Chain A
Amino acid sequence: MKTPLSWITEYVDVPDHVSTDELTARLTLTGLKLEGIHSPGAAITGPLVVGRVLTMEPEPQKNGKTINWCTVDVADANGTGEPQGIVCGAHNFAPGDLVVVVLPGGVLPGGFEISARKTYGHVSSGMICSAAELGLGDDHDGIIVLPADAGKPGEDVRPLLGLDEEIIEFEINPDRAYALSLRGIAREVLVSVDGASGFRDPALRDTPAANDQGHPVVVEDPTGCPVFVARTVTGFDPTSPTPDFIAQRLTAAGMRPISLAVDVTNYVMLETGRPIHGYDADALQGPIVVRRARAGERLTTLDGTARTLSDEDLVVTDDSGIIGLGGVMGGESTEMSATTTRVLVEAAHWDATSMFRTGRRHKITSEAGKRNERGVDATICEAAADRVVELLTTYGGGQVDPGVTVVGTPPQMPTITVAGDRAARVSGLDISEERAVEALRAVGCEVTGTGTLEVTPPPWRPDLTDPQDTTEEVIRLVGYDTIPSVLPKAPGGRGLTRTQLLRRRIGRTMAGAGYVEVVTFPFVGDHDLDALGLPADDPRRTTLRLSNPLSSEAPGMTTTLLPALLRTAGKNVGLGTTSVAIFEAAPVTLPRATEPAPILPVDRRPTDAELDALTKALPDQPLHLGVVATGEAEAAGWWGDGRAVSWSDAVDAVQVVAEALGLDLTSRPADTAPWHPGRCAALLLGDVLVGHAGELHPRVCAAFGLPPRSVAAEVDLDVMLEHAVHLRPSPTFSSYPVAKEDVALVVDETVAAADVEAALREGAGPLLESIRLFDVYTGEQVGEGKKSLAFALRFRAPDRTLKEGESSAARDAAVRVAAERTGAVQR
């Protein structure tokens, strides 16, 4: 809400010593937040004066234009008293007119510096200004011609045009709709600023009594439209200009002046907060009827949009059909135009909820709708309509029709019962009941009782419905800045949960392993899933879709962290970071067939069954860990070559996390997109699949702009966290000598090393301390289709030194089992 300061002080007296900064600081502290103070002339510097045009010589130019060579009297403002020679392209003035002149040395908005310059064969010493050039709107139709009595040549023109006016912009909270008016702002000044006095309510006026000579109005839905007031002006001159003070104030408020009739309705809305609608009365056919629309009825609103209505929309109709969406937007057929001479003024009170729903349903935001849906004073319809007809006839001529239509009565304000000490108990301040009552009366409430107060809010405060609402009124007027600072004493907490601690550990482990954490958006589209090479029936293709995604390219909630991580890695490579290792731990969304989430009552705690239904309606959202690496795992340097990342780095990234959680993960060969079918490991916790890791499919690398042999992993961290070892037992180990045995086993290339190792482990028996695969060899010596796996076995007994031959016997037993299970042959 923007308003000139002078408009506020029209309704309330502020002591001279209170500066604008102090005034707005006080209002900010009580709830009208200052957004900014603007001055329309702030961007204008230097001499800007009244000039009287003495002569003007039209001079046609070769380019077809005609310019005027003028001499203008600016008195002593130019230092000489001689007339000023100025070239002007506009034609909407004549000798003798008073105009606005910026002299050389002046600067106009946009940093436009004025100097004497040669143009069209003259030296033009300054400029005659249009409103647009001064930043006063976008009217380019010529220069400003001041009223004949505006001032004397040479006088500073700023005060005349309101250029020095301070325009204050407030941010109005949704519960303070009354402050979307000068009436409300002035009242806030009265209660907030020390010494402010003399409030003059613009909605307090004597209005003529209702009679039956007005335009007939029938309200069929008094809940939706409790009050409807209609007044009529006849003989109105539609060509009458809008007076400057109205145009300037509307412009300051950010509304474009359109025509006198429209401008007056907007002006009165700003003044009183009551939205007004004007009809071309000659276009009305028969009585006005207010009712709910029937579903499917249509209306073209005055923004030119044809709308299909719902049976919840409140409409204004006449014999021709629907002529307006009540309280939201008028219709095209009865719109006031340049030929309207009979104006019907509607000031009606509408049900706020209905206004909100209609505005949202039809996606209409308007100044009127903004006020109607937040709540307006229902008692001022007659005053507002009366003010409109007064302004229309004052500036547009014509007569006020004696007919006064008033249908309905304003709804009663509720009475709120609240403890007299509630504000003190809530704020922690020492607020006496007397102080509380005083504050409530200051904002317009009627208060009775002691100990327990009966509070009736004023009609302009429909936001006050509950004890907490009146409590806020008291505390804000006492002052939020007086609330003391007291740290509450929490009972001993349990600290971070185990899962929270483990998640931090996972992050640190990944960073320690050389991975950089990134945060990506969880939105995904088919394009991303195609790029991953997911088959048509892959469950990851089933995403929870958003009704209103930011991008139609990514309308779903992602089921996998990999597309965003691969894109991020590709972007880094594109930026010249050729070795990238990144990770993210974030939830993914896995839809499941569900019932809708119920909308539960709010006047009681939901039952456990109702809460259960809420939970069951949500998709699974497991926490995933995604990892992508490309380039070198170890850099080349003076020490020698680097080491390119390989599938094993991806598996190991998951393994280090598993170790941090005390888990033993096993790997199995897998063929899953987006991985290389021969270089993908399924990672298992016992029988439970945790995720996959390995080298990416070459097509996937290409799709994401990554070099071949980039690697990735994705695992379900929730599963891993659930199995994380909580209490780890202390290890025991033998101090007797170790016996080492190496074996090299030749197996078919397709045999998994993990299977050979498992067989060895089982065959070696209880003396085996550890086993480690230390070499894999393929080549002529082992034959086509074969590989040799070299294992180092360590044997040790817990209680004695092994006897000669014991370890070799255990080794042989191990090899036998490996041979049986995997066809291994010892080299």
Chain B
Amino acid sequence: MSGPNTEYDPVQVTPLDADQVEAMREAAVAAIAAASDLESLKAVRLEHVGDRSPLALANREIGALPPQARKDAGQRIGQARGAVNKALAERQVQLEAEHEERMLVEETVDVTLPTDRARRGSRHPITLQSELIADIFVAMGWEIAEGPVVEAEWLNFDALNLGPDHPARTMQDTFWTEPADHHVVLRTQTSPVQARTMLTRTPPIYVACPGRVFRTDEYDATHSPMFHQVEGLVVDEGITMAHLKGSLDHLASQLFGDGIDTRFRPSYFPFTEPSAEVDVRCFVCRGVDSDSCRTCRGEGWIEWGGCGVVNPRVLVACGVDPETYSGFAFGMGIDRSFMFRHNLEDLRPLFEGDVRFSSAFGSEI
């Protein structure tokens, strides 16, 4: 690198000549324009803008000039370098944009390829059905009560007005545990939860009790030794069968659709008196032109469950004063409700554990 050359005659310094500077500028601008990609633009930058580029070298000579000439040359070279830098920057932006565009095209993938790397889980439809029912009751201000599956005989039967010699005990085929004189059973209904609720809380009581129950039924398309029930219990002052009907109509419409209601037929349950069977209006045909309806088999109604006014004997055994309070109770199968709501004719898929069954429902039913 040379220092200032004081012996030079300024006019003889060729690089500072106006034409020469212009030529350098043009050469640089042309090279910039000719650069076809970012790589070649980098080379052009080294050659025309770098420390050893003609304009940079010319700039270094300026100090050797007399003051007047120095100013002219400085201005000239400064303008030329400015123009080159500007062209360079513009070309840089342009080439970067072109590069990006090309790159994005090259990176195109087939977005229709499958994406299911991770396993998909799901919940069991009966769990979902139970939660849906529970939510309907909670929305009414009721609470959800629970109790053990292996239960004391007294709570499963005696407290519910099913004494040891009650003929109705033979209606329920009970799993007994050993030793028999321990009086412990697999609960045949979720009613012991109602008894437990009355025994541990004071009215007003508004509870629903969903859960597993057991009967000694051979496993077939319509029977299972284990199934799911939901029962409701209300104990309050002035409770009537009209309140029972209102609650069941509400549950029916929430579960099966607006306008779906229930009807009562006299029946017999030791736990309640008066007792009724509950039929729910067929949500497919709504009881109109039912003859060809497969869901209700032409009845217009579907058998849903049992209900009634809590027998005062039950209130007494559970510590509720029948002079002050009255109540109603009802119960229905969750599996059965699910089966006709979702058109399932054979209940066994609910308990077979074939993952294709649960998966079909995902996490919502």
Contacts and interface: CB of A to CB of B under 8 A. Distances in A.
A511 B113 CA distance: 24
The 7 residue pairs across chains A and B that have the minimum distance between CB atoms: A605-B319, A428-B242, A514-B119, A428-B240, A31-B266, A568-B353, A490-B141
Contact of B264 (A480, A510, A598, A637): A480
A221 to B, nearest CB: 17
A516 B182 contact: no
B125 to A, nearest CB: 9
Interface in A579-598: 579-582, 586-587, 589, 594, 596-598
A823 to B, nearest CB: 39
Given A428-B243, A480-B266, A519-B350, 6 more contacts: A488-B239, A489-B141, A513-B121, A522-B149, A547-B178, A550-B225
Interface in B158-184: 158-159, 161, 163-165, 167-168, 170-171, 175-184
12 contacts: A174-B167, A427-B242, A428-B240, A428-B243, A511-B122, A518-B358, A544-B177, A547-B176, A582-B355, A597-B154, A614-B152, A621-B149
B356 A546 contact: no
A605 B267 contact: no
Given A547-B177, A572-B353, A600 B154 contact: yes
A494 B355 CA distance: 35
B274 A514 contact: no
Contact of A575 (B126, B206, B309, B354): B354
B358 A635 contact: no
Interface string A7-39: 000000000000000000000111101000000
A688 interface: no
A490 B266 contact: no
Q: How large is the interface on A (under 10, 10 to 19, 20 to 34, 35 or more residues)?
A: 35 or more
Nearest to B173: A548
Interface string B321-365: 000001000000000000000000000001111111011000100
Interface string B269-283: 000011111000000
Contacts of A486: 240, 242-243, 245-246
B201 to A, nearest CB: 12
A779 interface: no
Interface string B247-275: 10110000000000101111110000111
Contact of B158 (A513, A515, A599): A599
Interface residues of B, number: 103
Contacts of A596: 179, 181-183
B236 interface: yes
A395 interface: no
Nearest to A354: B165
B151 interface: yes
B120 interface: yes
Contacts of A495: 138, 143
Secondary structure dominating the interface of B: mixed
B150 A519 contact: no
A516 B352 CA distance: 13
A480 B276 contact: yes
A392 to B, nearest CB: 31
A357 interface: yes
Contacts of A564: 353
Contact of B171 (A174, A485, A614): A174
Contacts of B134: 496, 500
B30 interface: no
B317 A605 contact: yes
B179 to A, nearest CB: 8
Interface in A609-627: 611, 614, 617-619, 621
Contacts of B316: 602-605
A586 B150 CA distance: 13
Given A468-B312, A497-B144, A597-B154, A517 B124 contact: yes
Interface string B180-208: 11111010000000000001000010100
A475 B277 CA distance: 14
A587 B149 CA distance: 8
A557 B319 CA distance: 32
A374 B355 contact: no
Contacts of A634: 117-119
A476 interface: yes
Contact of A572 (B206, B354, B363): B354
A425 interface: yes
Given A31-B267, A480-B264, A504-B131, A510 B121 contact: yes
A581 to B, nearest CB: 5
A633 B243 contact: no
Given A494-B143, A597-B184, A614-B155, A468 B309 contact: yes
Contacts of A353: 165
Nearest to A594: B182
Contact of B120 (A490, A514, A544, A545): A514
B50 interface: no
A356 interface: yes
Nearest to A370: B167
A511 B141 contact: no
A488 B311 contact: no
Interface in B87-116: 113-114, 116
Given A557-B177, A596-B182, A618 B116 contact: no
Interface string B5-37: 000000000000000000000000000000000
